[in-house]
């Protein structure tokens, strides 16, 4: 893949000023609201609160400006931005069950105006309606699908006649269909073929005794529950409008417009800052140390400000009404614990005075553990890039270069393991358990292999609803020290079983006539007995070794989750207010009761939009 970063940089420099007029260091001593974190949700909250002319808002961001950063604006700059200063690049503790054959990856989170919306893959997926109904099962009253759908639509401004009419029009976030590569067309044909494929003899695919055993297992499975299997195969692998029918293959909707990434900063702050600069102040490179509290004579504890460090100097700023933490899944619990809100014993060990004993802070961490599978291709024609791609991108803002690493299609799939494991409801919600992002572009293969394909494609396989849980804990009382992050990936054996089902689904594509004609075959590593598993169906042992060896996390959530008062692990109530104190709210992915069946960007925008309305209602600003 050619590198067009220099051209994109020149275009950006021609179009933008060398400084950011949106920022200020001339601050009031006190604001009505202080928002910590200018990320996906935080920028929405600050923008929406500043709509009220008599309200003052301070937005504090630990990172720098996004203005003039060509790697952010240019979609294909995604890979190069990952190890730069605009990413927190968190370290994680040694994992017992994952990263066994590779160096531990860094944990990505955006450290820049726009937060992770400035560095992510731009995928805009809401999740299944069943996700939000399950949130309500978990005690998040008023967060069912019928409650939250309207807030998604308020955010969205969908472009294109073929983009789902279920999406909103008129919101501040521009979204549009991703590029449709030649490979996507082959996937659709293969999906139609799969329904017939497993009803016929597959003797031509049986090469070894091991494969015969695996095939017999499939036959026994079919005989045991024939109607479920038939309906499942018949109905699932088809092209769908994801926003109306979750399960199946669909084109991606992404946060870009006319070839440029759309971030929360570009969408919610830059369009309004000029007219609101008297009441909306934005400060970058400001690391918040802790939330400040006031305790009255009756013992009522109220958040009344924050401390932050900028240019080596600690400063204090006060809040008349509320402090809203939108600092992200790692930094929000980090700040809470530094402020004295967290598990009592941990705070005492760190010699921090306990304001609220909240065992759920930094607990319940979930993520879509992902694996990238690499598939050989006969030709680069399926990427969609050619010698005219750069010209098309510059002149029209279209084509293959508008994608992040070629990602253009998504498959959602519900295995037999569907349903949340900790639901307070006895109902098993039927949301997808596997997501596969198809990326017809030559990602770097991270492992050694005897086979060096001239052309290959990648499929990123996400486990949608893991049972493993991790933690975020303090490393020290210095706010500049990263917290101790333990995702605890694959600690629950059911996660391995669910992930194997995802690989089995990819095998079905691999074994179709359509995909075989493209040369689509998995590239296996030298380890994990890869050379004995070159052809499908592969052994469970191979896939278990593969996922434990080559995996990473990217969609962490739930470290300050929402729930009812009977759940001691619930950090915030259904209005996102931190339990045990007044004047402190959280609005980011931390509050999710459990992870959604989708990339987490769209849910974070919705949370920011919903939180804004709640704050306005509670302070009678509507």
pLDDT the model gives residue 567 = 94
Examine the domain organization and report whether 537 and 453 are in the same domain: yes
Examine the domain organization and report whether 357 and 309 are in the same domain: yes
Asked whether residue 449 is domain-assigned, the answer is yes
Residue 226 has pLDDT above 60, yes or no: no
User: 116, 571 in Cβ contact below 8 A?
Assistant: no
> Whole-angstrom Cα distance, residue 86 to residue 111?
5
> Whole-angstrom Cα distance, residue 599 to residue 175?
15
Residue 42 has pLDDT above 80, yes or no: yes
User: 38, 61 in Cβ contact below 8 A?
Assistant: yes
Asked whether residue 494 is domain-assigned, the answer is yes
pLDDT the model gives residue 422 = 55
Examine the domain organization and report whether 278 and 342 are in the same domain: yes
392-405 residue pLDDT tens: 777 677 776 777 76
> Whole-angstrom Cα distance, residue 60 to residue 37?
6
Examine the domain organization and report whether 522 and 606 are in the same domain: no
Q: Which of 508, 524, 549 is the last residue of a domain?
A: 549
Asked whether residue 470 is domain-assigned, the answer is no
Residue 233 has pLDDT above 50, yes or no: no
Examine the domain organization and report whether 382 and 429 are in the same domain: yes
> Whole-angstrom Cα distance, residue 443 to residue 460?
11
544-602 residue pLDDT tens: 999 999 888 889 999 999 999 999 999 999 999 999 999 999 999 999 999 999 999 99
Structural domain total, the chain = 2
pLDDT the model gives residue 97 = 87
Examine the domain organization and report whether 152 and 50 are in the same domain: yes
Asked whether residue 481 is domain-assigned, the answer is no
At 341 the three-state DSSP class reads strand
Sort 225 into a burial class: Cβ within 10 Å, 0-12 / 13-18 / 19+: exposed
> Whole-angstrom Cα distance, residue 243 to residue 255?
15
pLDDT the model gives residue 156 = 98
Tell me the residue range of the domain where 29 lies.
5-92+107-174+261-362+557-618
Examine the domain organization and report whether 273 and 338 are in the same domain: yes
pLDDT the model gives residue 235 = 42
Q: Which of 499, 526, 549 is the last residue of a domain?
A: 549
pLDDT the model gives residue 393 = 75
Instruction: Identify the CATH number of the domain in which residue 385 sits.
Output: 3.30.410.40
Average pLDDT of the segment spanning 307-315: 97
Examine the domain organization and report whether 131 and 236 are in the same domain: no
How far lies 208's CA from each of 204, 214, 365, 380, in Å? 11, 10, 42, 31
At 53 the three-state DSSP class reads coil
Highest mean pLDDT pick, 206-210, 228-232, 515-519: 515-519
User: 545, 574 in Cβ contact below 8 A?
Assistant: no
Percent of the chain with pLDDT over 70: 88
Examine the domain organization and report whether 216 and 268 are in the same domain: no
Asked whether residue 394 is domain-assigned, the answer is yes
Asked whether residue 479 is domain-assigned, the answer is no
Examine the domain organization and report whether 168 and 186 are in the same domain: no
Neighbouring residues of 342: CB distance < 8 A, sequence distance ≥ 6: 333, 336, 356, 358, 359, 361, 362, 474
Examine the domain organization and report whether 200 and 295 are in the same domain: no
Residue 205 has pLDDT above 50, yes or no: no
How many Cβ atoms are within 10 Å of 329's Cβ, its own excluded? 30
Examine the domain organization and report whether 29 and 126 are in the same domain: yes
Answer with the residue of higher pLDDT: 80 or 246: 246
Confidence at 10, pLDDT banded by 50, 70, 90:
low
pLDDT the model gives residue 426 = 61
How far lies 156's CA from each of 168, 174, 274, 288, in Å? 5, 6, 22, 30
Written as six digits, the tokens of 431 are 């949301």
How far lies 359's CA from each of 297, 333, 354, 580, in Å? 26, 11, 12, 12
Residue 284 has pLDDT above 60, yes or no: yes
How far lies 472's CA from each of 92, 328, 329, 397, 597, in Å? 10, 12, 9, 41, 23
Asked whether residue 212 is domain-assigned, the answer is yes
Asked whether residue 374 is domain-assigned, the answer is yes
* Average pLDDT score, the chain: 88
150-202 residue pLDDT tens: 999 999 999 988 899 999 999 999 999 878 888 899 999 999 898 665 544 33
Q: Which of 529, 549, 569 is the last residue of a domain?
A: 549
Confidence at 26, pLDDT banded by 50, 70, 90:
very high
Instruction: Identify the CATH number of the domain in which residue 600 sits.
Output: 3.50.50.60
Nearest to 256 by CA among 327, 345, 159, 392: 159
Answer with the residue of higher pLDDT: 192 or 58: 58
Confidence at 106, pLDDT banded by 50, 70, 90:
confident
Written as six digits, the tokens of 206 are 């049986």
pLDDT the model gives residue 231 = 42
Answer with the residue of higher pLDDT: 107 or 306: 306
């Amino acid at each position: 893949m050619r590198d067009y970063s220099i051209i994109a940089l020149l275009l950006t420099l021609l179009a933008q000023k060398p400084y950011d007029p949106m920022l200020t260091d001339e601050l009031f001593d006190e604001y009505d609201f202080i928002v910590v974190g200018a990320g996906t949700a935080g920028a929405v909250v600050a923008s929406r609160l500043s709509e009220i002319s008599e309200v003052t808002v301070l937005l504090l961001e630990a990172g720098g400006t996004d203005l003039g950063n060509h790697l952010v604006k240019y979609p294909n700059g995604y890979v190069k931005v990952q190890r730069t200063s605009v990413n927190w690049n968190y370290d994680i503790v040694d994992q017992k069950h994952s990263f066994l054959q590779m160096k531990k990856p860094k944990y990505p989170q955006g450290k820049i105006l726009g937060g992770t919306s400035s560095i992510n893959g731009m995928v805009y997926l809401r999740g299944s309606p069943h996700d939000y109904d399950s949130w309500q099962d978990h005690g998040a009253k008023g967060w069912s699908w019928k409650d939250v759908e309207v807030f998604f639509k308020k955010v969205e401004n969908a472009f294109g006649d073929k983009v789902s009419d279920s999406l909103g029009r008129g919101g501040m976030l521009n979204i549009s269909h991703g590029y449709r590569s030649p490979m996507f067309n082959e996937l659709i044909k293969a999906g139609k073929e799969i329904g017939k494929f497993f009803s016929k003899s597959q003797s031509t695919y049986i090469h070894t005794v091991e494969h015969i055993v695996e095939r017999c297992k499939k036959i026994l499975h079919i005989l045991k529950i024939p109607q479920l299997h038939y309906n499942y195969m018949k109905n699932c692998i088809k092209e769908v409008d994801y926003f109306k029918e979750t399960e199946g293959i669909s084109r991606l909707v992404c946060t870009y417009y006319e070839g440029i990434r759309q971030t929360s900063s570009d969408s919610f702050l830059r369009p309004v800052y000029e007219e609101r600069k008297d009441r909306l102040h934005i400060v970058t490179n400001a690391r918040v140390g802790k939330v400040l509290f006031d305790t009255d004579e009756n013992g009522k504890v109220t958040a009344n400000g924050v401390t932050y460090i900028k240019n080596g100097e600690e400063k204090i700023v006060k809040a008349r009404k509320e402090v809203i933490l939108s600092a992200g899944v790692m930094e929000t619990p980090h700040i809470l614990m530094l402020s004295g809100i967290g598990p009592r014993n941990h705070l005492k060990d760190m010699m921090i005075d306990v304001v609220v004993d909240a065992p759920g802070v930094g607990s319940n961490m979930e993520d879509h553990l992902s694996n990238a599978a690499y598939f050989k291709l006969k030709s680069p024609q399926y990427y969609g890039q050619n010698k005219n791609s750069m010209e098309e991108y510059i002149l029209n803002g279209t084509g293959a270069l508008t994608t992040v690493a070629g990602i253009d299609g998504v498959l959602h799939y519900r295995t037999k393991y569907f349903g949340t494991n900790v639901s307070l409801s006895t109902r098993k919600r039927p949301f997808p358990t596997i997501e596969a992002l198809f990326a017809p572009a030559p990602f770097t293969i991270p492992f050694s292999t005897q086979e060096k394909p001239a052309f290959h494609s990648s499929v990123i396989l996400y486990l949608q609803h893991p049972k493993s849980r991790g933690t975020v804990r303090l490393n020290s009382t210095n706010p500049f020290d990263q917290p101790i992050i333990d995702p605890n990936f694959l600690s629950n054996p059911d996660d391995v079983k669910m992930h194997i089902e995802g690989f089995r689904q990819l095998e079905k594509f691999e074994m179709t006539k359509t995909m075989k004609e493209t040369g689509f075959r998995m590239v296996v590593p030298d380890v994990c007995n890869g050379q004995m598993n070159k052809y499908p169906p592969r052994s469970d042992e191979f896939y278990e070794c593969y996922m434990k060896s080559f995996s990473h996390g990217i969609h962490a959530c739930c470290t300050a989750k929402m729930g009812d008062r009977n759940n001691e692990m619930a950090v915030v109530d259904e209005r996102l207010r931190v339990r045990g104190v007044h004047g402190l709210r959280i609005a980011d992915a931390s509050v999710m009761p459990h992870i959604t069946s989708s990339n987490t960007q769209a849910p974070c925008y919705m949370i920011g939009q919903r939180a804004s309305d709640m704050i306005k209602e509670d302070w009678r600003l509507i």
